[in-house]
Amino acid sequence: MTISSDTSSYIAGNFLAGAGNSFHAWDPVNNLALASCGSCGTEELQKAAHAAQSAAPVLAKKSGQQIAEFLQTLATEIENLGEQLIATGMAESGLPEARLQGERGRTCGQIRAFAELVQDGSWVQASIDTAIADRQPLPKPDIRSQLTALGPVAVFGASNFPFAFGSLGGDSAAALAAGNPIIVKGHPSHPATSTLFAQAMDKAIRSCDFPSGTFALLQGDGHQLGGDLVAHPSVKAVGFTGSVAGGRALMDIAAKRPEPIPVYAEMGSINPVFIMPDVLQNNSDSVAAGLAASIAMGAGQFCTSPGLIVTLAGDFAEQTSKHLAQQARGHMLNPGIANAFKQSVATRCEDQDIELLTGGAGAENPLQPENSLMKVSAKNFIAKPELLEEIFGPVSLLVECQNIKEMQDVAEAMEGNLTATIHTQAYDQPELKPLLEQLSKVAGRVLFNGYPTGVEVCPSMQHGGPYPASSAPATTSVGAAAIFRFTSRHAFQNCPDSLLPAALQNANPLNIWRQLNGQPSQAAITQ
């Protein structure tokens, strides 16, 4: 395989080297620095923002068919990058070949899913209430509304999914599908991977005759560039996947703008797993084995990794510990994440109320840490809010409860999470319903008898949750509904039919499903 050494930024249809300080990615498997990349600064940001602002009205007028063709072309161009994309992603992330091959399939699949969505056109949620001129005491006006593109969107690539949440991942696909130009702040851990995606995008833009400002890639290390991007007046929304500290910083910047904008941030989650008493009696060892595999998967660097286990006192802790110790050790994504993980595990191990069952912070190479499991009592867990904080890596904390009441108390102490899981077959037990009700309040997705790692890309998926899991719990960053984050609703009152957007015209020229006087309909309006 050939590894790309090109680490260019991409602005207004041109590849260029950032004029700022250079930085480099890191190969975590071989523990060595990769090719350096120049950081973009104010001048490059201004060029990207101007190009995106110029492209916005052009993209807003593109038909669903045109955008669908563009997205289909983009997916094909990503596939055409071939093994070079896989090899480059492996070098910059340490992720195995099979994982990245699957992630490439997911990336192209979600782009094509958005293409099908916008080609159908009904996603704009066209709603029409026709006039009633003789209504008493006041006439009813004709009011029609639909979702439209928002404008330039800033997208931040994630460290743990260099493809699926990278430069052309889910946030980018959703924003483009809605008709918005995007300005991507590439993650500094994989600049060469980001450049390859920009090459695929460049070919799609040229092939489909889209404006050059449809996409920009700004490479850069540090926080300044990202903060300046969010603060730029041309940007109308932000998509972010990363830490609570990073997401909150962008939220604060966006809120302090003269024109505040929404930040759709996916941040921290410990994804609690509740093991009910019947499981302990019937199949505890198999559940412990599955849970250990989920904790160690991808070196624990999944946003849905199970960082908390809640169950009754017994043998389950030792069973899980045994299975976890047998799991292969993975590689952390970069030295910064590795060092943060080591420090966090070491801090927990210093707590006298926490018992280390396996692993710890003593790995000789922080980039390849031990899989760790710790144990704490429910009483001490509830008394220490700091234990609710996510540790990003292959570690979980098992909370031992004396009874079901304590398990419920732990659930009530939870902050917002992406997921919560319940393992049980005793669906008629009276304690189950209140537990489910509580977990539904604090998690975007509740699973039964499964493991939280693995997110199905489908229309029903909810990948979000109450803060600090995400900044907007009513939205999702995965699935068809992700498109709605990057839209604005506009209404037209008593507007002449010829001036209306096609989705709202009487004849329904797009043949889409609309809400007509409160009822779903594909019919044309005859007047």
- Among residues 394, 432, 396, 392, the alpha carbon closest in space to that of 411 is found at 432
The Cβ-side half-sphere exposure at 269, using a 13 Å CA radius, reads 36
* Both structure tokens of 423: 């393992």
Under 8 Å between Cβ of 371 and 296? yes
Give the separation between CA 466 and CA 476, rounded to whole angstroms.
11
Average pLDDT over residues 317-339: 97
The alpha helices in 7-138, defined as continuous H runs, are 42-60, 64-80, 82-93, 97-120
Give the separation between CA 49 and CA 26, rounded to whole angstroms.
29
Average pLDDT over residues 480-486: 97
Average pLDDT over residues 222-246: 97
Listing DSSP states for 389-402 in one string gives S---SSEEEEEEES
Q: Which of 40, 108, 303, 401 is catalytic?
A: 303
* Both structure tokens of 508: 């329904």
* Both structure tokens of 169: 């991942």
* Both structure tokens of 520: 């779903």
Residue ranges covered by each domain of the chain: 40-123+148-267+475-484, 272-448
CATH superfamily of 40-123+148-267+475-484: Aldehyde Dehydrogenase; Chain A, domain 1 (3.40.605.10)
- Return all residues near 75 (Cβ < 8 A) that are at least 6 apart: 108, 111, 112, 115
Q: What confidence score (pLDDT) does residue 175 get?
A: 98
Give the separation between CA 106 and CA 101, rounded to whole angstroms.
9
- Residue 289 identity: A
CB neighbours of residue 274 within 10 Å? 25
Element (H, E) at 374: strand 372-377
* Both structure tokens of 71: 């997205």
Distances (CA, A) of 452 to 47, 140, 172, 462: 41, 50, 24, 13
84-117 residue pLDDT tens: 999 999 999 999 999 999 999 999 999 999 999 9
Q: Integer distance in angstroms from the first to the last C-alpha of the chain? A: 64
Q: What confidence score (pLDDT) does residue 4 get?
A: 72
Structure confidence at residue 484 as a pLDDT band (50, 70, 90): very high
Average pLDDT over residues 198-211: 98
Largest CA distance in the chain: 82
Under 8 Å between Cβ of 171 and 264? yes
Q: What confidence score (pLDDT) does residue 7 get?
A: 86
- Residue 254 identity: A
- Among residues 179, 213, 184, the alpha carbon closest in space to that of 68 is found at 179
Element (H, E) at 240: strand 237-241
161-196 residue pLDDT tens: 999 999 999 999 999 999 999 999 999 999 999 999
pTM: 0.96
3-state secondary structure (DSSP) of residue 301: coil
Active-site residue, 108 included: no
Helix and strand totals (H; E) in the chain? 15, 21
Give the residues across from 470 on adjacent strands: 266
- In this structure, what DSSP letter does residue 470 have? B
High-pLDDT (> 70) share of the chain, %: 99
Give the separation between CA 258 and CA 511, rounded to whole angstroms.
40
- Residue 430 identity: P
- Among residues 14, 57, 16, 20, the alpha carbon closest in space to that of 215 is found at 14
Give the separation between CA 210 and CA 34, rounded to whole angstroms.
33
Q: Is the pLDDT reported for residue 1 higher than 60?
A: no
Under 8 Å between Cβ of 453 and 459? no
Q: Which of 69, 266, 400, 406 is catalytic?
A: 266
Active-site residue, 43 included: no
Q: What confidence score (pLDDT) does residue 499 get?
A: 98
Query: Domain 272-448, CATH 3.40.309.10 — does that match?
Result: yes
Q: Is the pLDDT reported for residue 3 higher than 80?
A: no
Q: Is the pLDDT reported for residue 2 higher than 70?
A: no
To the nearest 10°, report the CA torsion of 332, 335, 338, 342.
160
Q: What confidence score (pLDDT) does residue 391 get?
A: 98
Average pLDDT over residues 320-337: 97
